[in-house]
Every structure is written in structure tokens, then in C-alpha cells.
Structure 1
């Protein structure tokens, strides 16, 4: 099975086209080598997929005939992604929240309405 189809059938990407694009951009490595979308996948291949700033690492256990349900994905691959990869992603999310907290800067419509209601109550 082609690598782009394998990524789609094991639900790492939503469409085959997204799998093809990931391969063309160099986000997919099989056994340490960057591959083209047409590269065949065999059992015991080690795959690294860079997606959302996380390097997902997994080993191919078997090749499915077509796209499988989410509960059946573990039959076809063994996830070997280190936990540190997810911790770095959580840190990135926290830094984005800290950079600009919601509501800072210009007032939102709700804030403006609350201020208008407060000012109207004072004038009466």
C-alpha cells in the first residue's frame, strides 16, 4: 500500500490528498528517509510524521485493505511517539494563551454593551 493511502487509512490525515501533500513537503519519513507519496509501506517499517508541530512515530504492524475505524487503528500500527513531544505542544498552547489573553485590547461587543448599560443606569 502507498504511504499516502496508509496515512489516510490509519486516520493520521483526513484525506489522501493531505497525505500526498505531507509527503511532498517532506513531513513523512520511512526508516529515516524522506519519501515520495508513492512509496510502498510494509510491516515493521518505522514511520515519522510531522503534524501540528509534533513528530508522530509509529511502526507498521499490518496493512489494512481500506480505511479503518478509529477503534481498529491500533491493530495496524504501534505508536512509539515519545511523551515529550506532546508536552512541548502543551507548552506552545499555554504560551499562545499567555501572549494575548481574551478580552485585552479593544473591548468586545459584550464589554461595550455592559459599559453602555452601566453608564445608562448612572445617568437615571
Structure 2
């Protein structure tokens, strides 16, 4: 499946044109490789890392969607691997 279609079907982008811009910006990584084209092929098991709305999204493709459905349907096609940032007190070096 094309990368831009997956981003649009999985609801990471509001339109296919926005999905193409995300893919062609040069900031998206597909299985660790920098991608600059929206026609790159996405497969089940592929890992995507890209900036979106001020944070880095890391997702694994679990299934290839057949259509752009409702958000509840879209989330079953990927699993989030986003790095978890700890909340609470900041730990400083040398603190006992």
C-alpha cells in the first residue's frame, strides 16, 4: 500500500494532500530509512516514525486498511510505539 494512502486511511492526515506533504517532507522514516516520496510501499510490520502536531509519532502497521473509516476502525490498523515521557518530578544528576 502507498505510504500516503496509509497515513490518510489511518487518520494521521485530514486529506490525502496533507498525507503526501507529510511523506515528502523528508522527516518520515520507514523501517529506519528516510523517505521523501509518498509512493513508498508500506507493509504489515513496517514501523513509521514522523513528527505530527509537535511530537514524534512512532507506529507499527498491524493491518492494511481497505478504506478510510471512522476513528475507531482506523486505530486497529496500527499500534503506537511512541516513547513514553515520565511525568512528575524531574530527576537531576547527582540527586540523592
Match of 2:83 in 1: 82
CA distance 1:68–1:27, shift in 2 (3 Å) = farther
- The structure carrying a bigger strand percent of its residues is 2
Which runs of 4 or more aligned residues in structure 1 lie more than 2 Å from their structure 2 counterparts after TM superposition? none
2:15 match: 15
* Higher helix proportion (structure 1 or 2): 1
The residue aligned with 1:93 is none
* Partner of residue 29, structure 1: 29
CA deviation map 1:31-74 (0-9, x unaligned): 01122100011000000121122110000001011112101122
Larger radius of gyration: 1
For the residue of structure 2 that corresponds to 1:83, the secondary structure is coil
Q: Please tell me the root mean square deviation across aligned C-alpha atoms, in Å.
A: 1.6
Which residue matches 1:97? none
Which ranges of structure 2 fall in alignment gaps of 5 or more residues?
88-96
What are structure 1's unaligned runs of at least 5 residues?
88-124
Distance 2:19 2:85 in 1: 24
Give distance in 1, aligned partners of 2:82 and 2:53. Answer: 14
Q: 1:106 aligns to what?
A: none
